[in-house]
């Protein structure tokens, strides 16, 4: 057990999918895993371990934002031996060509600040995905025929953004979307020798102001979960 995860030794699989919302962790578990068992409920952050096509996998919430994600990623890797961590979550599109319900596979994740910033001092570390996972995720998305974009994203450390100028600069540099966790996940995984990837569903659009209705989100998120699982076990 750790301060934030109540799982016993052996309860956590080496492959962990990490949605931000613990309720989404429950939904993904009930939808995709066989014989799942709840392994964590500390502070309401749900984690489940089961199997997918015979492969053992844990789906564990990360909470919102990089500080929360950093806690769970560190404990999962350091204390439970997780070796592959894949964020599955929602994101806001920053380019017109990226549409609602599209999938974004994050090759890199830019950010203004993460909990790991102090490690680097004046160095601007470039957090990036594990290439093997990224390659397999792209192949899985193509096989499904899902509209998919691969490239750089922005991990924000605030939700209520008051920097439209920054959004414009990021868009000019081809940034596909904004979310709040991937940059820290990539950094923690690099530091601790694990593999990481973020597979995201576009639920909102910063330019058109479209938003995916709440009742449609789970159905649209199914492709993202399947792509993440295929990337981990293909």
Selection from 36, 76, 38 nearest residue 52 by Cα: 36
11 labeled part of a ligand binding site: no
Contacts of 35 (CB under 8 A, 6+ apart): 50, 51
CA atoms within 13 A on the CB side of 10: 0
205 labeled part of a ligand binding site: no
87 labeled part of a ligand binding site: yes
CB atoms closer than 10 angstroms to residue 118: 7
89 labeled part of a ligand binding site: yes
Catalytic residue of the set 11, 204, 216, 223: 204
122 annotated active-site: no
Alpha-carbon span 28 to 221, nearest angstrom:
9
149 labeled part of a ligand binding site: no
Q: What three-state secondary structure class fits 223?
A: helix
110 labeled part of a ligand binding site: no
145 labeled part of a ligand binding site: no
Residue numbers annotated as active site: 204
Q: Which residues are annotated as a binding site for phosphate?
A: 20, 24, 43, 87-90
Q: Which residues are annotated as a binding site for a purine D-ribonucleoside?
A: 4, 179-181, 203-204
Q: Which residues are annotated as a binding site?
A: 4, 20, 24, 43, 87-90, 179-181, 203-204
């Amino acid at each position: 057990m750790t301060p934030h995860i109540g799982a016993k030794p052996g309860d956590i699989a080496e492959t962990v999918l990490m949605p931000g919302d613990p309720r989404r962790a429950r939904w993904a578990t009930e939808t995709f895993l066989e014989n799942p068992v709840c392994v964590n409920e500390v502070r309401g952050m749900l984690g489940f371990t089961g199997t997918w096509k015979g492969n053992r996998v844990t789906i564990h919430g990360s909470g919102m934002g990089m500080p929360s994600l950093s806690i769970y990623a560190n404990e999962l890797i350091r204390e439970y031996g997780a070796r592959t961590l894949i964020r599955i979550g929602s994101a806001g599109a920053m380019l017109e060509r990226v549409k609602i319900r599209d999938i974004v596979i994050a090759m890199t994740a830019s950010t203004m600040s993460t909990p790991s910033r102090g490690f680097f001092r004046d160095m601007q570390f470039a957090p990036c995905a594990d290439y093997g996972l990224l390659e397999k995720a792209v192949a899985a998305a193509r096989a499904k025929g899902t509209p998919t974009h691969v490239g750089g994203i922005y991990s924000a450390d605030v939700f209520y953004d008051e920097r439209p100028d920054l959004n414009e600069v990021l868009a000019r540099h081809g940034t596909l979307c904004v979310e709040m966790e991937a940059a820290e996940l990539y950094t923690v995984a690099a530091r601790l020798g694990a593999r990481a990837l973020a597979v995201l569903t576009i639920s909102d659009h910063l330019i058109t102001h479209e938003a995916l209705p709440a009742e449609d989100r789970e159905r649209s998120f199914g492709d993202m979960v399947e792509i993440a699982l295929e990337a981990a076990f293909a």
